[in-house]
Amino acid sequence: MIRVLLFAIVFLIAIGGQLARAVEPSERLADPVLEARARTLSNELRCLVCQNQSIDESNADLAHDLRILLRQRLVAGDTNQQVLDYIAARYGMFVLLDPPFEPVTYLLWLTPALLVFGAGALLVIRAHHRRPERRLAALTQEEKTRASLLLGERG
């Protein structure tokens, strides 16, 4: 019973840790509308240190700096798109968790499709080269006759 209780506590702590945000109270804006915009935008920006977390989730110093910068731009009156454009111009398109489909990011967006297409084409080519008729076509007439005899076929 104690093991189950301990397991439940550890499980809840683990799940609760995933839901926790790294935004510190000192970073929060007094205006709830601006803070809500800041939280929405910070979920669209990648932590450049962690790379698989948004800046809202990351405890890295750079993520903290980006959260501060984002809030400063909102207080200055920038729109959401202006904030994202400003940060992307400063840190590169990689900072966006969902980068736009533009010439700069074509490789990023098209690589998965190209890899799947290439792998599929490779499998089709391999299957085509492994067909039995192709192997038999490479045999001489004497080898075909001998193979038929060995396989018990009458030719």
Alpha carbon distance 141, 122 (integer Å): 31
Please report, for the domain that includes residue 71, its CATH number.
1.10.8.640
Alpha carbon distance 120, 95 (integer Å): 32
Report pLDDT for 20. Answer: 47
Report pLDDT for 56. Answer: 86
Alpha carbon distance 75, 34 (integer Å): 8
Report pLDDT for 116. Answer: 95
Report pLDDT for 25. Answer: 66
Domain range for 25 is 1-100
> Same structural domain for residues 28 and 64?
yes
Q: What are the 10-residue block averages of pLDDT along the chain, 155 residues in total?
A: 71 56 68 86 88 85 90 91 92 86 85 94 86 67 85 70
Total-model pTM: 0.58
Provide the sign of the torsion angle of the four alpha carbons 85, 90, 93, 97, taken in this order: negative
| Counted domains in the chain | 2
> Same structural domain for residues 75 and 125?
no
Report pLDDT for 101. Answer: 86
> Same structural domain for residues 75 and 9?
yes
Q: What's the full length of the chain, in residues? A: 155
Q: Is 142 exposed, middle or buried (0-12, 13-18, 19+ CB in 10 A)?
A: exposed
Alpha carbon distance 102, 111 (integer Å): 14
Report pLDDT for 6. Answer: 67
> Same structural domain for residues 36 and 65?
yes
> Same structural domain for residues 27 and 84?
yes
The C-alpha R_g of the chain, in whole angstroms, comes to: 30
Among the candidates 58, 85, 100, a domain finishes at 100
* Token reading at 77: 């009156």
